[in-house]
């Protein structure tokens, strides 16, 4: 195998500047949306006392989950010694912290009092999963930045594996923490399931790799660097396995709920009577987000088309957002069960399906998270040597013929 070379991208083309311009504009819209929300209060959003977490949380949690998953490729190279993934490791680590930064930006700017972030950073209630997550997120930045240093500095070669292993353990813990936010809520019929933590880990594998694959396709194509078919095929097949893995957990989650009579109501709501939530589940998450990508990845001829595999990865991302919508908003839309088996009515929406009409500001803030993540990647690859000069199969795989 040849020695792997990395280099900065030139970053002077008009295309690069247009990309930065578009992403910058989205970030400005996002910051404007956040200012609008914070200045007026959350009454300008569709969120209310029944649906307290809305579109910003869908985007934020998706990005945070994807962030830990994006690190997977680096972990496969450092922890599991897969040589072919080594040239991808720095980009994988870079994308992971970029996605986390984007997700956290949304989460923080959606707070009722974002000016009190310092309070959240200094006063911890250690029984709160949120408080653990603040430590896990900050630790993730620290560990992955050190990991990137080990990956990019040849003098640090010997530390690469232990630091990579630490980052791998940390990312599994982080996604466990994120999943547990939705796993330990006894009040909500859809959210009191410990399976959320492992399901979120597999979701992170899938969403993170889908974004990573698209970013690498774009980066290689726009900087005229080869991306070998064999390596591309490996990543594509791995993504397919992860998509199937998510499906497995989704099936297990719903079957478990269907078995318990107390959860029949919420299952009926999500699976058949929930309107937008049912559509998001079946059309968004299952058909477009899982089955179609699986067909595109594993079909003998479609799977060889970069465009169709890219489309599959885009669908995995959209399906992931749909899944987050169902988990986060669907779980709140379904009425709380105060008196099981009885009809409950009040002035505070008891006993009825809660309505939620998100506003432009919420989408603006959410999309800004993606833009921030991609701008970080675009700038970083111009400043430092993250991008491998070649991902041609002969250059990355010692066994390639």
Q: How far is the CB of 385 from other proteins (least distance, A)?
A: 38
Q: Does 112 bind other proteins (CB under 8 A)?
A: yes
Q: Does 49 bind other proteins (CB under 8 A)?
A: yes
Angle at 207 between CA 202 and CA 211, to 5 degrees: 145
Number of residues counted as binding other proteins (CB under 8 A): 52
Q: Please list the alpha-helical segments (H only) found in 260-330.
A: 264-268, 276-279, 292-298, 306-324
Q: Which of 52, 258, 283, 383 binds other proteins (CB under 8 A)?
A: 52
Pairing of strands 6-7, 387-388: antiparallel
Q: Which of 3, 43, 155, 399 binds other proteins (CB under 8 A)?
A: 43
Q: Does 336 bind other proteins (CB under 8 A)?
A: yes
Distance CA 183, CA 54 (A): 18
| Nearer to other proteins among residue 8 and residue 350 (C-beta) | 350
CB 137 within 8 A of CB 110: no
CB 367 within 8 A of CB 30: yes
Distance CA 148, CA 390 (A): 19
Q: Which of 80, 130, 248, 259 binds other proteins (CB under 8 A)?
A: 130
- Is 387 in a helix, a strand, or coil? strand
Q: Which of 7, 50, 173, 278 binds other proteins (CB under 8 A)?
A: 50
> Which listed range, 72-80, 92-100, 126-134, 141-149, lies at the site for other proteins (CB under 8 A)?
126-134
Q: Does 359 bind other proteins (CB under 8 A)?
A: no
DSSP-derived secondary structure for 68-87:
HHHTHHHHHHHTS--GGGGG
| Nearer to other proteins among residue 251 and residue 338 (C-beta) | 338
> Which listed range, 9-17, 58-66, 113-121, 393-401, lies at the site for other proteins (CB under 8 A)?
113-121
Q: Which two tokens stand for residue 285?
A: 């998450």
Q: Does 191 bind other proteins (CB under 8 A)?
A: yes
| Residues forming a β-bridge with 388 | 6
Q: How far is the CB of 184 from other proteins (least distance, A)?
A: 8
Q: How far is the CB of 181 from other proteins (least distance, A)?
A: 8
Q: Please list the alpha-helical segments (H only) found in 123-275.
A: 129-152, 157-181, 196-222, 229-259, 264-268
Name which of 45, 52, 96 is nearest 74 in CA terms. 96
Q: Which of 3, 12, 14, 113 binds other proteins (CB under 8 A)?
A: 113
Site for other proteins in 221-250 (CB under 8 A): none
| Residues forming a β-bridge with 6 | 388
> Which listed range, 9-17, 42-50, 279-287, 370-378, lies at the site for other proteins (CB under 8 A)?
42-50
Q: Which of 350, 385, 394, 400 binds other proteins (CB under 8 A)?
A: 350
Q: How far is the CB of 94 from other proteins (least distance, A)?
A: 28
Q: Does 261 bind other proteins (CB under 8 A)?
A: no
CB 193 within 8 A of CB 215: no
Q: How far is the CB of 99 from other proteins (least distance, A)?
A: 21
Distance CA 139, CA 68 (A): 12
Q: Which of 12, 14, 123, 399 binds other proteins (CB under 8 A)?
A: 123
| Nearer to other proteins among residue 34 and residue 380 (C-beta) | 34
What values do phi and psi take at 90, rounded to 5? -60, -40
Q: Does 38 bind other proteins (CB under 8 A)?
A: yes
Q: Does 354 bind other proteins (CB under 8 A)?
A: yes
Q: Does 138 bind other proteins (CB under 8 A)?
A: no
Q: Which of 19, 20, 79, 111 binds other proteins (CB under 8 A)?
A: 111
Distance CA 319, CA 10 (A): 34
Distance CA 162, CA 169 (A): 11
DSSP-derived secondary structure for 35-50:
HHHHHH-GGGSS--SS
Alpha-carbon distances, residue 381 vs 8, 175, 196 (angstroms): 6, 26, 35
| Nearer to other proteins among residue 261 and residue 398 (C-beta) | 261
Binding site residues, other proteins, CB under 8 A: 38, 40-43, 47-53, 111-114, 116-117, 119-120, 123-125, 127-131, 134, 181, 185-188, 191, 332, 336-339, 341-350, 354-355
């Amino acid at each position: 195998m040849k020695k792997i070379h990395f280099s900065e991208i030139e970053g002077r083309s008009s295309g690069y500047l247009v990309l930065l311009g578009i992403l910058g504009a989205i970030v400005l819209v996002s910051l404007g949306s956040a200012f609008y929300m914070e200045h007026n209060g959350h009454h300008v959003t569709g969120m209310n006392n029944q649906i307290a977490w809305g579109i910003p949380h869908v985007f934020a949690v998706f990005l945070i989950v994807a962030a830990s998953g994006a690190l997977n490729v680096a972990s496969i190279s450092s922890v599991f010694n897969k040589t072919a993934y080594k040239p991808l490791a720095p980009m994988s680590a870079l994308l992971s912290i970029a996605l986390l930064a984007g997700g956290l930006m949304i989460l923080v700017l959606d707070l009722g009092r974002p000016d009190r972030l310092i309070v959240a950073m200094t006063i911890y209630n250690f029984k709160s999963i949120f408080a653990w997550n603040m430590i896990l997120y900050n630790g993730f930045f620290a560990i992955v930045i050190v990991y990137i240093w080990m990956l990019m500095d040849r003098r640090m070669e010997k530390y690469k594996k232990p630091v990579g292993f630490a980052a791998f353990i940390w990312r599994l813990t982080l996604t466990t923490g994120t999943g547990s936010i939705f796993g330990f809520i006894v009040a909500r019929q859809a959210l009191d399931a410990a399976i959320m933590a492992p399901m979120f880990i597999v979701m992170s594998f899938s969403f993170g790799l889908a974004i990573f694959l698209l970013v690498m396709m774009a980066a290689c194509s726009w900087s005229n660097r080869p991306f070998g078919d064999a390596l591309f095929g490996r990543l594509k097949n791995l993504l397919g396995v992860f998509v199937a893995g998510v499906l497995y957990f989704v099936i297990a989650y719903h079957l478990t709920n269907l078995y318990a009579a107390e959860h029949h109501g919420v299952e009926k709501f999500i699976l058949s009577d929930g309107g937008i939530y049912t559509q998001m589940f079946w059309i968004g998450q299952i058909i477009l987000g899982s089955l179609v990508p699986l067909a595109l990845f594993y079909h003998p001829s479609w799977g060889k088309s970069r465009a169709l595999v890219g489309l599959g990865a885009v669908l995995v991302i959209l399906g992931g957002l749909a899944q987050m919508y169902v988990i986060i908003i669907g779980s709140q839309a379904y009425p709380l069960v105060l008196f099981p088996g009885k009809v409950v009515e009040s002035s505070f929406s008891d006993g009825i399906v809660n309505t939620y009409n998100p506003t432009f500001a919420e989408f603006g803030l959410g999309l800004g998270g993606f833009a921030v993540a991609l701008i970080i990647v675009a700038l970083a690859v111009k400043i430092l040597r993250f991008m491998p000069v070649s991902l041609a199969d002969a250059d990355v795989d010692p066994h390639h013929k």
